[in-house]
């Protein structure tokens, strides 16, 4: 049986796509910026290094997409946060939603 796609489901698909791209960006930063050139000799070492990298990423590393704040600082803000860069993808998606 096929499911009929409702108009609001397109938004959910776009939203999911956006979440995946954000997750990929986080993974890339952790891998290529924070863990680059590190050698690991056990899964335990990898887990500890990733845990430390995620803690650093969320609490110490400023983000241009968060107006130079860390994610931890940004969670305390209300309203929209100014970005220090322009996302043409976001502009295109907003135009599609109108």
How many other CB atoms sit within 10 Å of the CB of residue 86?
Answer: 8
**Average pLDDT, stretch 2-9?**
56
- Report pLDDT digits (tens) over 70-93: 999 998 988 888 777 766 777 777
Domain regions of the chain by residue span? 40-98
| CB-based contact 36:49 (threshold 8 Å) | no
The pLDDT value recorded for residue 26 is 86
The pLDDT value recorded for residue 83 is 76
Task: Provide φ and ψ at 87, rounded to 5°.
Answer: -105, 105
What is the rounded radius of gyration, in angstroms, for the C-alpha atoms of the chain?
A: 18
Q: What is the pTM of this model?
A: 0.63
- Report pLDDT digits (tens) over 35-65: 999 999 999 999 999 999 999 999 999 988 8
* pLDDT band, residue 95 (cuts 50/70/90): confident
C-alpha span between 4 and 1 (Å, rounded): 10
């Amino acid at each position: 049986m096929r499911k009929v796609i409702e108009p609001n489901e397109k938004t959910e698909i776009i939203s999911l796509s956006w979440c995946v791209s954000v997750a990929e960006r986080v993974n890339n930063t952790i891998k290529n910026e924070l863990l680059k050139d590190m050698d690991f000799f056990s899964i335990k070492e990898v887990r500890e290094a990733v845990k430390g990298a995620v803690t650093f990423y969320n609490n110490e590393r400023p983000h241009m997409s968060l107006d130079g704040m860390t994610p931890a600082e940004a969670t305390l803000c209300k309203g929209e946060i100014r970005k220090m860069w322009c996302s043409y993808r976001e502009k295109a998606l907003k135009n599609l939603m109108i």
